[in-house]
Amino acid sequence: MALDLSIDDEWNAVYVDGEWTSAASDGEIPVEDPSTREEIARVPASNEDDVDAAYEAAATAQTEWEQRPPVERERIAQRFAQLLHEYEEAIVDLLAHEAGGARIMGETSVQIASDHAGEAATIPRRMKGEHVDSNVPGKENVVRREPQGVISVISPWNFPLNLSGRAVAPALAAGNAVVLKPASNTPITGGLLMAKLYEEAGLPDGLLNVVPGHGSEIGDAVVGHPRSDLIAFTGSTPVGRGVAATAGENLSELALELGGNNAHIVTADADLEAAIDSAVFGSFVHQGQVCISINRHLVHEAVSDEYVEKLTARAESLPTGSAHDEDTIVGPIIDEGQRDEMLEYVEKTVDQGATLETGGGTIPMEGVEDSLLVAPTVLSGATNDMAAACNEHFGPIAPVIPFSDIDEAIELHNATEYGLSGSVHAGDVGQGMRIAERMDTGNVHVNDQPINDEAHVTFSGTNASGVGAYNSTDVMDEVTEKKWISLQHDEREYPF
């Protein structure tokens, strides 16, 4: 029987030990559609009793799961990926309703989540140990790779499906169990949806447990739970510091993707049209609500005026509106708190001396009293210390900062505590590569923009942008641990 994944389906349950049950408390989380500002669902607000039950179920189920044949874990990951494509239209619609994601965001989310699941399906066959010669006569050394145990996943609201999936899929494939706490803005697409899909894929009970809830109420209970072996968290750097401190009390391992202040460097020799194409996508897709979107445009002063003119024209031409409109590119911001913060950054940046070329406010939406639609915004004459440049604005905002030479561009780029992603257009790939090597960031994309994620290629940040890594062999290293077993075949001689 086909799954019902519509927004009108029943989402008012937590998922623990393979059962859809009521939360231990009677609290609820209202889910709002950012396009209409209407309440579209209510999900339970879990409490610490729900969290404890989830970890108990996970720990119990995991001991058997890691003993199952690799091919079984592989098939679950493959089936999950298949289901994502089978239900793509329903998932895209859910993301529009809950996350304000325009169609391009929804389709991209499904594609990336499927890519991560496909890569995860290779993990069971790659969990190989090694045989190491010993310095001791008659001894054999064996190193085994084993699952961590129980993985805690705390996912964000901006790309809830794939940013949950990139941790959940490899964790399960490696033989772990998972407790997933999705963001309170997106508890369905960040968690409950995943539970339904894995249930349909045949995942045994107890291996994926989903506890929606407010971070202020259950965040510490999840992060600090004694049964949690690894915390996989995506979110802001200030919250990430708190996560790390709490997890440290249990010596839990960490995989944290945190904030970014990503720059798009454009040199005087760059193909300006290609640089603008990249800039428009990298700044405005999903309203700029992407950890790896362009936060600053660093443009050589010789081409800065032309760049601003072309970028402004393109920004003004972008289709804006409801996420439910098939033509929309720039949809609504997730909530009024995020909207107000980014508009305050713009206002302060103008007060600090930048020029507002376009945007800078909200666009009215029919039937909506308090629109969350922020106009694509371009600011010229900005500097690194202006509000929209030194802060992660997380919106459809493009501050353009001129530079005089490559050394200054690198200095401007690196003058931030973050190091998540970045991009450079420099006329030829060789020059771009030389610039990329000097950029202090975890990911750099030459003749492109910063928003890239390929499950078979490592993804990590430097400095305040996080610790640990996702994708490829790196995420397998995160969700597994190594055990050294030595075998003394011949009687050993000791010095006393």
Which residues are known to be catalytic?
A: 257, 291
Nearest to 413, CA basis, from 436, 429, 394: 436
Both tokens assigned to 323: 């996420």
- Which of 118, 46, 52 has the alpha carbon at shortest distance from 83? 118
CA 74 – CA 408 distance, rounded (Å): 49
The single-letter code of the amino acid at 455 is A
What distances in angstroms separate CA 480 from CA 115, 132, 229, one per listed residue?
Answer: 20, 19, 10
Of 440, 362, 451, 386, the closest CA to residue 111 belongs to 451
> Three-class SS string for the chain?
CCCCCCCCCCCCCEEECCEEECCCCCCEEEEECCCCCCEEEEEECCCHHHHHHHHHHHHHHHHHHCCCCHHHHHHHHHHHHHHHHHCHHHHHHHHHHHHCCCHHHHHHHHHHHHHHHHHHCCHHHHCCCEEEECCCCCEEEEEEEEECCEEEEECCCCCHHHHHHHHHHHHHHCCCEEEEECCCCCCHHHHHHHHHHHHHHCCCCCCEEECCCCHHHHHHHHHCCCCCCEEEEECCHHHHHHHHHHHHCCCCEEEEECCCCCEEEECCCCCHHHHHHHHHHHHHHHHHCCCCCCCEEEEECCCHHHHHHHHHHHHHHCCECCCCCCCCCECCCCCHHHHHHHHHHHHHHHHCCCEEEECCCECCCCCCCCCCCECCEEEECCCCCCHHHHCCCCCCEEEEEEECCHHHHHHHHHCCCCCCCEEEECCCHHHHHHHHHHCCCCCCEECCCCCCCCCCCCECCCHHHEECCECHHHHHHHHEEEEEEEEECCCCCCCC
